[in-house]
A and B are shown apart, each in its own frame.
Chain A
């Protein structure tokens, strides 16, 4: 047992922190509120390059490097504190997209894609969710059939993070009944994207829907078909981890802003931080952050060690951190009162962003069901 980060973890954390000076933070603030597709793409590319140089993009990529998950969280949390949108965009590229390609692809076919992503030269997106289709009872209706020595893919995808700015999109679907991942590129015939979706929070992210209408892909751009759904399980688990850390970052930002405001804002001749009702809120916020941190780290450690309880504890972490982030951002807003309610304020942004973690990845409801199913199976 050891509750301290290693020297290497600390060194990487410091390197990541150094990238984001005051000017960078201001630029990212503007991105969160006013980012267009073009500026989001340019800024994401620039920071991907800098993060690659700092060694951020390579740890924990793919299930084969699962033992790096906990150490990876040290640097992820550093980035998540700085900008929620940039963090999600980078992680979708580095851990979800690259994780699928590197973990489940044939290196002789997809090695170049992986290399470009890991050098910070390309943005990746992953398309899993689909709009509901009346009468369809399966889990995914995006399908491909073999044709002309390759595959022809058709289907719809919703909520594709990085979709509008991606160089590559990993689209999940089925070949007959077997899972496959299709590496689609913008400009492929038959691929169309919706306008960028407007969302409640994480406004510095570019998200869209996809329509694939008979997209012809050569077979070297198809991963699978696989004998099982391990690639899908991997991407869901990776997304859950990313959302846990996003919630940690959001809590850090909320606490920092609320504490700073409470220290400088005066009421009745003294700083509001001197009032017990404010101090007690801050104490609750920090308690939720620390319990969320340790639960997330432990989930990462269990996964890294292939512990049989990992999946359940990851779901525990996902539910707990998401709900803690909602609570913490709500308390921060209450502390900051009118100032916090103003548009563009860091806490107002956190408050809007917090909901995302509860409904993205495995929803809190589905995660609770999964936790309970695991517990009940032990006593059945």
Chain B
């Protein structure tokens, strides 16, 4: 066992941290209040290479390993990049682009990956439906083969980047009677007749990330837009879990470092009863608890990334443990940070309540904590 990161990995994390602090963090509050994606930041993420980090160079990426990708996502959180932007990045790069990269034909890869890696195009993934979330087998979006086309009908709910996406990976039932084996994945481009965004959803946190309902009404796509093998959709969706439990959780680790930094500085400056509040035991204990959570969570996330780098099949138990731990145990530390900063913590200006709100997604998105508990208890 060895927890060492390479010099290159550490240097790259430092570069991302500097870049994000300078180029992205200064606009976070403005866009968070507006509830809009910051397109300038998006463009800069693309220019820096974050959006296509792990893709091969010939497709516009940098060929980074998964641990490096996790460190980059962690650095974004540590720099104070909001959970909305990191969520949009995660959905775009890992849930959409990587699914095309991992299962697509050479032509599909050449068509979409360079545009997605640069950020020229935005991607999204549609799995959840108004009536089917964790219970994936009960999807109702149907797709029928008609000649040399597929015809999609149904709707998708809570779709990150849905309203701004140029391309979507959509899961639908090719054989409604076959359960998981009846699910397939398709590439649907913006502007395809019959594909529309029904409404954008207002959320408690991750507000800069647009979340939408997508409608497919007799939406006709070419036969060639089938992604991978027909009937393999469920397995493809499960493959994204590796990214979901590593790179998409990593910003939460970074956010804890961000809170430690903000709370430490505040506690040293804020004077009450004649001395900085950093001198009070209760404040110190809260600060320590944020650090303890960060250190306990860190290796759970790195382990998933390392296993993927080694080509090991995903250990679903370890993945669920990582998701459950970060989902449920992150609530305490974000609350501690608000309490350290008191009334200022409750105000938007100090950016701690934003992390508090963003973190509420952790036990919900990508498989709720209850689903993780079901999985863990089944597998243990």
Contacts and interface: CB of A to CB of B under 8 A. Distances in A.
B3 A298 contact: yes
Given A297-B1, A372-B288, A373-B284, A287 B295 contact: no
Contacts of B8: none
Contacts of A292: 296
Max count, chain A CB within 10 A of own CB: residue among B3, B264, B284, B372: B3
B37 interface: no
A9 B285 CA distance: 36
Interface string B113-130: 000000000000000000
A27 B285 CA distance: 42
Contacts of A379: 261, 264-265, 268
A3 B287 CA distance: 29
Interface in A280-294: 280, 282-284, 286-287, 290-292, 294
A128 interface: no
A284 B298 CA distance: 18
A172 interface: no
Nearest to A285: B380
Contacts of B1: 2-6, 9, 70-71, 74, 297, 301
B218 interface: no
Interface string B321-338: 100110001000000000
B102 interface: no
A294 B302 CA distance: 10
A371 interface: yes
A372 B196 CA distance: 51
B373 A369 contact: no
A328 B265 CA distance: 35
Contacts of B297: 291
Interface residues of B, number: 48
Contact of B380 (A71, A283, A316): A283
A372 B370 CA distance: 33
Interface string B235-266: 00000000000000000000000001100110
B57 to A, nearest CB: 23
B292 A302 contact: no
B318 A280 contact: no
A291 B321 contact: yes
A368 B289 contact: yes
A371 B288 contact: yes
B377 interface: yes
A259 B380 contact: yes
Nearest to A262: B377
Contacts of B317: 286
B376 A287 contact: yes
B374 interface: yes
Interface string B274-312: 000010010111011101100111111011001100000
Most chain A Cβ neighbours within 10 Å, of B2, B67, B303: B2
A294 B265 CA distance: 29
A120 B296 CA distance: 35
A317 interface: yes
Interface in A289-334: 290-292, 294-295, 297-298, 301-302, 305, 312-313, 316-317, 319-320
B4 interface: yes
Contacts of B289: 368
Contacts of B11: none
A319 B306 contact: no
Mostly, the B contact residues are: helix
Contacts of A301: 1-4
Most chain A CB within 10 A, of B264, B287, B291, B317, is at B291
B33 interface: no
A378 interface: yes
Contact of B291 (A1, A282, A287, A316): A316
A302 B3 contact: yes
Interface residues of A, number: 48
Contacts of B67: 1
A71 B284 CA distance: 33
Given A1-B3, A1-B4, A372 B287 contact: yes
A279 interface: yes
A263 to B, nearest CB: 11
B271 interface: no
Given A1-B67, A369-B288, A282 B300 contact: no
Interface string A355-380: 00000000001011101110110111
Contacts of B376: 282-283, 286-287
Interface string A1-39: 111111001000000000000000000000000000000
Interface centre among B372, B373, B375 (most CB of A within 10 A): B373
Contacts of A320: 292, 295-296
A42 B318 CA distance: 41
A115 B288 CA distance: 41
Contacts of A380: 268
B296 A291 contact: yes
Contacts of A365: 281, 285
Interface string B134-171: 00000000000000000000000000000000000000
A367 B306 CA distance: 30
A316 B285 contact: no
Nearest to B307: A3
Given A287-B376, A301-B3, A376-B267, A295 B295 contact: yes
B303 A294 contact: yes
Interface of A: 1-6, 9, 70-71, 74, 259, 273, 276, 279-280, 282-284, 286-287, 290-292, 294-295, 297-298, 301-302, 305, 312-313, 316-317, 319-320, 365, 367-369, 371-373, 375-376, 378-380
Nearest first, the 4 A-B pairs at minimum CB distance are: A372-B284, A279-B377, A294-B299, A283-B376
10 contacts: A2-B1, A279-B377, A283-B380, A290-B321, A291-B325, A301-B2, A316-B291, A320-B292, A375-B260, A375-B288
Interface of B: 1-5, 67, 260-261, 264-265, 267-268, 278, 281, 283-285, 287-289, 291-292, 295-300, 302-303, 306-307, 317-318, 320-321, 324-325, 329, 370, 372-378, 380
Given A316-B295, A371-B291, 4 more contacts: A282-B377, A317-B295, A371-B292, A380-B268
